[in-house]
Amino acid sequence: MIRVSPLIDRLVEALQMLPGVGPKWATRMALNVLQHNRGGGSALATALADAVAKVTRCAQCRMLCEAEVCAICANPKRDERLLCVVESPVDVIAIEQAGSYTGRYFVLHGRLSPIDGIGPAQLGLDDIAGLARERGIDEVILATNPTVEGEATAHYISEALAGAPARLTRIAHGVPLGGELEYIDGGTIVHALQGRRSV
Ligand SMILES: [Zn+2]
């Protein structure tokens, strides 16, 4: 990387923490902001600082939000008896954008991965069974990604929920093997939810 000035170098370096951004793109973005859009740059800095300082996890579903309880959990129109378990907040956004799901969520913030030291405790997996009993949930939809780790996570939850009154379903149709919900279009997600099967 060509060194320009300590402040620009620092900005270019910082931008590279964004997923998919290498040194070339980071340099372009940094110079573009400084050249053409300083106001936007300030707004971005403030928005980022505020979000990082104030956004935390919903006390109920663990979705990212700045209130104690997120807008979905606080919405009385959402069906409390349906709980959809997803790996990441971005999956909640993808399902919400598809627009057909009316229940609640539980966000794991990861998937089982013993190599990376991610076990059931980090993901709150054992809390799901407690939630299912406490809230009288009728159906738990396992919407973890159809990857090896996603399947292992779904399997663990199904074991933890064995004996609980809630029906367990797994999204199936339309989601390609090894695919991630984040990259799938809304129509496919609707089909995947409609085609869920008991596990
Ligand atoms: Zn919530």
Cα(81) to centroid(ligand 1), Å: 14
Q: Is the pLDDT of residue 199 over 90?
A: no
Take residue 33 and report the two structure tokens written for it.
Answer: 């902001």
d(CA 114, CA 40): 42
- Residue 60 is assigned to a structural domain of this protein: no
* Rounded distance between C-alpha atoms, residue 153 and residue 123, angstroms: 9
Whether pTM exceeds 0.85: no
Quote the ligand 1 centre to 150 CA distance (angstroms). Answer: 21
What H or E segment, with its residue span, contains residue 25? helix 23-36
Q: Report the separation in Å between the CA atom of 59 and the middle of ligand 1, taken as the mean of its atom positions.
A: 7
Say yes or no: 124 and 49 in one domain: no
Distance 137 CA to ligand 1 centre (A): 15
pLDDT (tens digit per residue) in 123-161: 988 888 888 888 889 999 999 988 889 989 999 999 988
Chain segment 155-198, per-residue pLDDT in tens: 999 998 888 788 999 886 566 666 677 777 776 777 677 767 77
Q: Give residue-wise pLDDT tens across range 84-104.
A: 999 999 999 999 998 889 999
Mean pLDDT of the chain: 89
Q: Are residues 42 and 77 in the same domain?
A: no
pLDDT attached to residue 3: 80
- Between CA 197 and CA 17 the distance in angstroms is 39
Distance 2 CA to ligand 1 centre (A): 45
Domain limits at 29? 6-54
Residues 183 and 91 in one domain: yes
Q: How many domains does the chain have?
A: 2
The Cα 196–Cα 185 span in angstroms is 17
165 CA from centroid of ligand 1 (Å):
22
**50 and 77 belong to one structural domain:** no
Q: What is the mean pLDDT of residues 120-125?
A: 88
- Asked whether residue 63 is domain-assigned, the answer is no
Instruction: Answer yes or no: do 50 and 85 share one domain.
Output: no
Please give the Cα distance from 115 to 64 (Å, whole number): 26
Question: What spacing in Å lies between the alpha carbon of 103 and ligand 1's midpoint?
Answer: 11
Give the per-residue pLDDT at 50. 98
pLDDT digits (tens, 9 = 90+) for 9-25: 999 999 999 999 999 99
Report the number of secondary-structure helices (H) and strands (E) in the chain.
Answer: 9, 7
- Cα of 106 to ligand 1 centre, how many Å? 8
CA nearest 61: which of 31, 35, 96, 32? 96
Looking at residue 46, which CATH number applies to its domain?
A: 1.10.8.420
Residues 93 and 27 in one domain: no
pLDDT at 177: 61
Instruction: Report d(CA 72, CA 39) in Å as an integer.
Output: 33
3-state secondary structure of 199: coil
**85 Cα to the center of ligand 1, angstroms:** 12
Place of tokens 């929920």: 161
Q: What is the CATH number of the domain that holds 111?
A: 3.40.1360.10
Q: Are the beta carbons of 34 and 8 closer than 8 angstroms?
A: yes
Considering the domain architecture, whether residues 48 and 99 belong to the same structural domain is answered as: no
Compare 195 and 43 and report the one with higher pLDDT.
43
pLDDT higher than threshold 80 for residue 37: yes
